[in-house]
Amino acid sequence: MKRDERGAIAELTAEELADKLLELKQTLFNLRFQHSVNKLENTSRLKAVKKEIARVKTYQRQLELSASAE
């Protein structure tokens, strides 16, 4: 993921982050399904989506902590 994309994630609101997380989880499910039936050509995409999910969760947690600190 490029720096611009990471910065774009950091600028999202809490609702947008939740939507993005849901979308990524659906993508991961589809990729896992494709992998199980041997239809997935690019297996590195699984790892990339997992990392992106972790980034979104990290930013969600940062928002929670900053909201509770205020």
pLDDT on residue 49? 97
Nearest residue to 17 via CA among 63, 66, 60, 53: 60
Domain holding 51, by residue range, is 3-69
The 3-state DSSP class for residue 3 equals helix
CA atoms within 13 A on the CB side of 11: 6
pLDDT on residue 35? 96
State the amino acid at position 6 in one-letter form: R
Q: What is the pLDDT along the chain (70 residues), one digit of tens a residue?
A: 566 767 788 899 999 999 999 999 999 999 999 999 999 999 999 999 999 999 999 999 999 999 998 8
pTM: 0.88
Tell me the CATH number at 23.
1.10.287.310
> How many domains does the chain fold into?
1
pLDDT on residue 48? 96
Asked if residue 49 lies in contact with residue 24, where contact means CB atoms within 8 angstroms, the answer is yes
